Chain A
C-alpha cells in the first residue's frame, strides 16, 4: 500500500531550535513530529482507561443501576 504524505509549513526558527535540542534522540524533525503524532494517535494507556470504564459500566448494569 502506498503511503500518502502531507506537507506542512512551520516557522524556520522553531524548526532550528527543535533540531538543536534533538541531537542524538531523533534522526530529524520529521522523525520527531511522526513520533509525537503517533503517540497522540495510539494512546495505549487511553485504551486501557476506556476498557476499564466499560467494565465498571457493566458492573453497574449487572446491578441494575444503568
Chain B
C-alpha cells in the first residue's frame, strides 16, 4: 500500500474562537470552514506551551517545553521529531517557515528536513522583543530630554505622549505600503515556494510543514485581504498608527480599548489571508493529484490576547484560553468529517497521532501518545492537558530570561488551574476556574471551593513535575548546551 503523505500547516497566533468552524461569526476562514466539513475537528485543542518557543517542542517533538530543563531552547541536536521520523521512514521532507526567529536552524527546527527555508536570511526584519520594537534611534538631545522627563510621573507621561505623536507625524512623510510595513513574508510567498517544491517531487511520500505568520503582530495584512472583508478604508497609514498605538506600554487599557475593534479587524484580515492561501495549497495538491493520499492538518502554536484580561499579544504572563486554546483540524482521506467536542486534546499528542495516521512508528521518547485509534472511532477520551512555560519569558535568547519560575496550567473539560510560581518560591498564586460556568475566566473560584477538583489537578501537576525530573534526557540537554556555546562563540 502506498504510504500517506503529510501536510502540517501551523498558523502563528491563531486563536480558536477566530475560526468559523469553531463558531466565529465574521467570515474570515471560508476555506478552512469548507475543509472542516470533511475533517476531524477538535473543539478543545490545547497547546502544551506558549508562545512559539514553548509550544513547538511539543508540536514537533512531542516533548513538553521544559522537559530538558528550562534553560534549553528549541529542539536539541539529535532529538527525534516528527520530521526525523518521517525522513527516516523514507519521506521527502520540506519546511517553509515565515521568518519566525524561534523556528530556525539555531533552535534545531531544521532537523529532519531535506529542504528548510526559514526566511530569516531575507530582507524581512527579525521578530524583536516588544520593547525593542518600540525603540527608535533617539538623537542625543532627545535622549537627554527623555532622561530628564523621568524625574516625575507627570513629565514622563507628557514626554511619552508628545514623542508618540511626533513619531506619528514623522511616519506620515513615509508613504509605505502594507507589503513594505509587514515584518514577515505573507502566506502567498510560502505557498508559492511550497508549490514549486511539490511540483518537483516524483511520486514519493512527502512531509511538508508550512508556518504562516499573517495574524502575528505588527498587523499588516495585504490590502487585498482588507478589501475582501470590506475594510478597504483601512489605509497603510492608518494601520501603522493603529499598530504603534497598540504597542504603547506607557498607557492603560482604557485608552487602548478605543482601538481594539480596528486592531481585531487587522488581525482577522491576516487570518483571512492565511486561510485563502491554505485554500490555494489544497488546490495545488489536488492539481498534482496528491490530495487523495495526503493527511492534512491545520493548527496554531498559540492564540493572541486583545485586552480580555488586560494583556496584548502573547506574552506568557498568564495562560488564558485566548492563548492556549487553538484550532485543530485533521483531514484524512478515509475519515468522514466530524466534530470531537470532548477532550481536551493536548498538542503533545499531535506528532505521535500524525505518525500513526500515516503508518510510521513514533519514537519511544515522545511524551505524548497516539490518539489515532480513538479519533478514527470518533472518540476523544477526557484527559487533563498540561500547559507550561517560563513566566514572563519574552526574550528566550537571553539565558537569564529562561531561568525564571514556571507558569503552568492544568485544564480538563470543565476545570482549569493556573499555577503561578512566584519568584522567591515562597508560595504560589493559583487561579482556579470553572470553564463551564465561566468560560471567559472572569471569576476565579475562591479557595476552599471544589477542593477535590482543585486537588485532582494539583496531583496532575505534581506527577508532571516528578516525571520532568526523573525522565530528563541528560544527553540531549548537554547537546543543546554545547550547541548554544558553539553559537555564542561563532558570533
- Partner of B481 from the list A39, A56, A63 (CB cut-off 8 Å) is A39
A36 to B459, CA, bound (A): 34
Interface size on B, residues (CB 8 A): 33
Q: Which residues of A contact B454 (CB under 8 A)?
A: 63
What distance in Å separates the Cβ of B217 from its nearest Cβ neighbour in chain A? 30
* A-side contacts of B486, CB under 8 Å: 25
Complex Cα distance, B455 from A40, in Å, reads 33
Residues of chain B within 8 A of A39, CB atoms compared: 477-478, 481
Which chain B positions have C-beta within 8 A of A52? 405-406, 421, 425, 465
Instruction: Fill in one digit per residue for A3-37: 1 if any B CB lies within 8 Å of its CB, else 0.
Output: 00000000000000000000011000000000110
B458 and A63: CB pair below 8 A? yes
Q: Which 7 A-B pairs have the closest CB atoms?
A: A45-B69, A53-B465, A65-B455, A56-B462, A51-B425, A45-B71, A45-B70
- Interchain CB contact under 8 A, A63 and B451: yes
CA distance A45 to B465 in the complex (A): 12
The answer to whether A55 touches B478, judged by C-beta atoms less than 8 angstroms apart, is no
Q: How far is the CA of A59 from the CA of B430 in the complex (A)?
A: 10
- CB–CB B478/A60 < 8 A: no
How long is the Cα–Cα vector from A40 to B69 in the complex, in angstroms? 12
Can you give 11 contacting A-B residue pairs, CB < 8 Å? A36-B478, A45-B70, A45-B72, A46-B472, A49-B66, A49-B468, A53-B465, A56-B419, A57-B462, A60-B455, A60-B459
**Which residue on A lies nearest to B490, using beta carbons?**
A24
Name A residues whose Cβ lies closer than 8 Å to a Cβ of B: 24-25, 35-36, 39-40, 43-46, 48-53, 55-57, 59-60, 63-65
Chain A's closest residue to B72 (CB) is A45
Given contacts A46-B469, A63-B455, A64-B451, 5 further A-B contacts (CB under 8 A): A44-B71, A45-B71, A49-B468, A52-B405, A52-B406
Compute how far the CA of A60 lies from the CA of B461 in the bound complex, rounded to whole angstroms: 11
- Determine how close the nearest CB of chain A comes to the CB of B482; give it in whole angstroms: 8
Residue of A nearest to B454 (CB): A63
1/0 per residue B480-491: CB within 8 Å of A? 010001100100
| CB contact between A59 and one of B69, B458, B474, B489 (< 8 Å): that residue | B458
Nearest A-chain residue to B461, judged by Cβ:
A56
**Interface residue? B428 (CB, 8 A):** yes
Return chain A residues, CB-CB under 8 Å to B481.
39
Q: How far is the CA of A56 from the CA of B478 in the complex (A)?
A: 28
- For A59, list chain B residues within 8 Å (CB): 428, 430, 458
Contacts of B156 in A (CB 8 A): none
Q: Contact: A40 with B465, CB < 8 Å?
A: no
In the complex, which residue of chain B has the Cβ closest to the Cβ of A50?
B469
Any A CB within 8 A of the CB of B31: no
Within 8 A of A (CB), among B448-477: 451, 454-455, 458-459, 461-462, 465-466, 468-469, 472, 474, 477
Knowing A48-B403, A56-B465, A59-B430 touch, does A65 contact B459 (C-beta < 8 A)? Answer: yes
A63 and B489 alpha carbons, distance in the complex (Å)? 50
CB of B421 within 8 A of CB of A44, answer no
Residues of B contacting A40 with CB < 8 Å?
474, 478
Provide the residues of chain A in CB contact with B468, threshold 8 Å: 49
Q: A57 contacts which chain B residues (CB < 8 A)?
A: 462
Q: In the complex, A35→B484 CA distance in Å?
A: 13
Q: Given A39-B481, A50-B469, A53-B465, are A65 and B405 neighbors across the interface (CB < 8 Å)?
A: no
Of A46, A48, A53, A64, which contacts B466 at CB under 8 A? A53
A39 and B478 CA atoms in complex are apart in Å by: 8
Question: Is B252 engaged at the interface, CB distance under 8 Å to the other chain?
Answer: no
Q: Is B427 in contact with chain A by the CB < 8 A criterion?
A: yes
Q: Which of B71-105 contact A (CB under 8 A)?
A: 71-72
Q: Does the CB pair A48–B405 fall under 8 Å?
A: yes
Q: Which residues of A contact B66 (CB under 8 A)?
A: 45, 49
A48–B56 Cα distance when bound, in Å, is 22
A54 to B32, CA, bound (A): 45
Q: What separation, in Å, do the CA atoms of A55 and B425 have in the docked complex? A: 7
In-complex Cβ contact of B462 among A45, A46, A60 (8 A): A60
Look across to chain A and name the residue whose beta carbon is closest to the beta carbon of B462.
A56
Name the residue of chain A whose CB is nearest to the CB of B388: A52
Q: Which residues of A contact B430 (CB under 8 A)?
A: 59
Q: Which residue of A lies closest to B403 (CB)?
A: A44
Contacting pair A49 B465 (CB below 8 A): yes
A24 touches B489 (CB 8 A): yes
Is there an interface contact between B469 and A49, defined as CB atoms closer than 8 Å? yes
Question: What is the minimal beta-carbon distance from A50 to any residue of chain B, in angstroms?
Answer: 6
A23 CB, min distance to chain B CBs, angstroms: 10
Q: A19 vs B72: C-alpha distance in the bound complex, in angstroms?
A: 24
The smallest C-beta distance from A47 to any residue of chain B, in angstroms, reads: 10
Contact indicator A60/B70 (Cβ below 8 Å) = no
In the complex, A49→B65 CA distance in Å?
13
Chain B residue nearest in CB terms to A54:
B425
Tell me the minimal C-beta distance from B455 to chain A in angstroms.
4
Mark out the residues of chain B between 409 and 467 whose CB falls within 8 Å of any chain A CB in the assembled complex.
419, 421, 425, 427-428, 430, 451, 454-455, 458-459, 461-462, 465-466
User: A57 vs B486: C-alpha distance in the bound complex, in angstroms?
Assistant: 39
Cβ–Cβ < 8 Å partners of A50 in chain B: 469
